[in-house]
Amino acid sequence: NAGVMQNPRHLVRRRGQEARLRCSPMKGHSHVYWYRQLPEEGLKFMVYLQKENIIDESGMPKERFSAEFPKEGPSILRIQQVVRGDSAAYFCASSQTVPGGPTEAFFGQGTRLTVV
């Protein structure tokens, strides 16, 4: 089991471009979370997805940000028309919901987005 895979590890975009961040969950995991971490700050929840379904997007900015987790393929976090303030580390986690059991989350290594 390769763990949660995120790519790219580092992404540089000019202001106004689009950023696409990918996350492949652990094998057998059906739930994906996206978090943003700014320097010297904690992890801020963005969105929680199940395959083909958004469970909770209360942490997503209302504009320019979107996320999907299709039936096949990785989860994608898309940021349109990036601005300097979008520069951060974006982490993905996955979990497998076990009836009556714990929901343990496993994290990827993150994508560090730099907007220039």
Partner 1 sequence: KQEVTQIPAALSVPEGENLVLNCSFTDSAIYNLQWFRQDPGKGLTSLLLIQSSQREQTSGRLNASLDKSSGRSTLYIAASQPGDSATYLCADSMNRDDKIIFGKGTRLHILP
Q: Which residues bind partner 1 (CB under 8 A)?
A: 31, 33, 35, 41-43, 45, 48, 55-56, 58-59, 91, 93, 97, 101-110, 112
State which residue, 18 or 56, has the beta carbon closest to partner 1.
56
SS3 82: coil
**Residue 9 per-residue DSSP state:** S
State which residue, 35 or 69, has the beta carbon closest to partner 1.
35
CB of 10 to partner 1, least distance (A): 10
State which residue, 68 or 106, has the beta carbon closest to partner 1.
106
Separation between Cα atoms, residue 16 and residue 81, nearest integer Å: 4
Cβ–Cβ under 8 Å, residues 46 and 59: yes
Q: 88-95 and 31-37 as β-strands: parallel, antiparallel, unpaired?
A: antiparallel
